[in-house]
Amino acid sequence: MKTIDELLAAGVAGRRVFVRADLNVPLDGTTITDDGRIRAVLPTVKALADAGAKVVVASHLGRPKGAPDPAFSLAPVAARLGELLGTGVAFATDTVGDSARETVAGLQDGQVAVVENLRFNAGETAKDDVERGAFADQLAELADVYVGDGFGAVHRKHASVFDLPARLPHYAGYLIATEVDVLKKLTEDVRRPYVVALGGAKVSDKLAVIDELLGKADRILIGGGMAYTFLKAQGHEVGISLLQEDQVPAVREYIERAEKTGVELVLPVDVLVAGEFPDLKTKAPAHPTTVAADAIPADQEGLDIGPETRKLYASKLADAATVFWNGPMGVFEHPDYAEGTKAVAQALVDSPAFTVVGGGDSAAAVRILGFDENAFGHISTGGGASLEYLEGKTLPGLAALED
């Protein structure tokens, strides 16, 4: 795929450049609680603006149902982007309507505008190719060139990700180029030992990547809510812990495959449990207790890996040359259940390995728990996209950027 450097070398002064970013940031009302995804696209936006382009930034935010919804407006994002750039950023109150056309028409060379949430338009996410293409046609009228830099959305076959690049000269932005380069280091000529730490709530979200990694990784560590389905597959009771009973047969098969192929599959040896889910808003003390992973009481729920498991996982990460981590080890949003996730993050910081944090909740946890982002090899902006790449899937947004 052609990169933004090739576009800049050809000259962009006076040209309208459509940047498809992923600005799907978490909001508390209108307050952005984590601006990591905005900062991730800054190098691309700034390079284009500094070169004299008229930069039109577009993104989705949340899951509005194909119509305007003030709760998902990108207005706070446009304001934050302006603060980070140190300059005014224009904001269009629609995506392809009068406001968007007037806002883009009013841009001077080197200026930046953000258009309203792409998903306020049903055509963005339409399954129908014609409907999606019609929306892409409208978006194409706003620009002369397309730059894809929303890695967190490249696994979606959406109008602004898949259809629009076909209508304009297209290039990969700095973020996407970096993400792809990092993912190649996890799939091609990998430095070993290669250790993968997987967490998060649902094992069903990770089965496909586990299936692929059983042929590539040397060691896989399992934590988070998904661990209880693994423990159940081993014949242990898990109390009222998160459990996907329908996935137990598949998990049992993966455990057997790991044994046959020599992949070390590491499960918790102890867990923190409580009788009810903690209050994440008040952060009230939850009074957890630690029990062996094979001795979870019937009326208790596992909410984090225990202290012995933290030590075990740290030791399993210590000799790695490559590490990929996706998914927290527990309910890290509550301080009583953050230690497992913190221990894995710290093990990555301490490791000399090439370490990749696979986006989503893992990336949020790194920031919320106060770690220096520069202490990791790479923090991805797209958890779902990273997983699908590792699964070997063709990602529509990357395929669309190929020449």
Q: Phi and psi dihedrals of 205, rounded to 5? A: -70, -20
Question: What number is the average pLDDT over the span 104-108?
Answer: 98
76-98 burial: b if 16+ Cβ within 10 Å, else e: bbbebbbeebeeebbbbebbbee
Under the banding of pLDDT at 50, 70 and 90, the label for residue 280 is confident
Least confident of 9-18, 304-313, 363-372: 363-372
Under the banding of pLDDT at 50, 70 and 90, the label for residue 286 is confident
Let me know the angle formed at the C-alpha of 294 by 291 and 299, rounded to the nearest 5 degrees: 65
pTM: 0.89
Could you say which of 15, 20, 37, 54 is catalytic? 37
- Residue 54 CB neighbours (<10 A): 26
Question: What number is the average pLDDT over the span 271-283?
Answer: 89
Question: What number is the average pLDDT over the span 147-174?
Answer: 97
State the pLDDT at residue 277.
Answer: 86
pLDDT of residue 359 exceeding 90, the answer is no
State the pLDDT at residue 86.
Answer: 97
State the pLDDT at residue 3.
Answer: 96
Under the banding of pLDDT at 50, 70 and 90, the label for residue 170 is very high
User: Any residues with CB less than 8 A from the CB of 246 and at least 6 apart, and which?
Assistant: none
pLDDT of residue 403 exceeding 80, the answer is no
Give the residue numbers of the binding site.
22-24, 37, 60-63, 119, 156, 206, 302, 333, 359-362
Q: By the 8 A CB rule, do 18 and 139 touch?
A: yes
Q: Phi and psi dihedrals of 288, rounded to 5? A: -75, 160
Give the residue numbers of the binding site for (2R)-3-phosphoglycerate.
37, 119, 156
Give the residue numbers of the binding site for ATP.
206, 302, 333, 359-362
State the pLDDT at residue 401.
Answer: 97
Return d(Cα 59, Cα 365) in angstroms, integer.
Answer: 23
Q: Is 310 a catalytic residue?
A: no
SS3 336: helix
State the pLDDT at residue 259.
Answer: 94
The conformation of residue 159, written as its DSSP 8-state character, comes to I
Return d(Cα 318, Cα 346) in angstroms, integer.
Answer: 11
pLDDT of residue 299 exceeding 90, the answer is yes
- Residue 315 CB neighbours (<10 A): 11
Q: Cite the beta strand spans of 294-374 per DSSP E.
A: 301-305, 322-326, 354-357
User: What would the two tokens of residue 288 be?
Assistant: 């957890």
Q: Is 311 a catalytic residue?
A: no
Q: Phi and psi dihedrals of 53, rounded to 5? A: -75, 155
Question: What number is the average pLDDT over the span 329-352?
Answer: 96
Q: Is 360 a catalytic residue?
A: yes
Residue 284, burial from CB neighbour count under 10 angstroms (0-12, 13-18, 19+): exposed
Neighbouring-strand partners of residue 172:
3, 148
Question: What number is the average pLDDT over the span 124-142?
Answer: 98
Q: What is the pLDDT of residues 371-390, one digit of tens each?
A: 998 999 999 988 889 999 99
Under the banding of pLDDT at 50, 70 and 90, the label for residue 300 is very high
State the pLDDT at residue 186.
Answer: 92
State the pLDDT at residue 284.
Answer: 86
Percent of the chain's residues with pLDDT above 90: 88
Q: Are strands 27-28 and 31-32 parallel, antiparallel or unpaired?
A: antiparallel
Question: What number is the average pLDDT over the span 301-310?
Answer: 97
State the pLDDT at residue 285.
Answer: 84
Q: What is the mean pLDDT of the chain?
A: 95
Question: What number is the average pLDDT over the span 18-32?
Answer: 94
Q: Is 37 a catalytic residue?
A: yes
Could you say which of 39, 46, 101, 202 is catalytic? 202
Question: What number is the average pLDDT over the span 358-379?
Answer: 89
Least confident of 49-53, 192-196, 372-376: 372-376
Check the CA dihedral 52-53-54-55 and report its sign.
negative
Q: Cite the beta strand spans of 160-313 per DSSP E.
A: 170-172, 194-198, 219-222, 264-266, 270-274, 289-292, 301-305
Could you say which of 152, 239, 340, 384 is catalytic? 384
Q: Phi and psi dihedrals of 128, rounded to 5? A: -75, 125
Give the residue numbers of the binding site for substrate.
22-24, 37, 60-63, 119, 156
Under the banding of pLDDT at 50, 70 and 90, the label for residue 364 is confident
pLDDT of residue 298 exceeding 80, the answer is yes
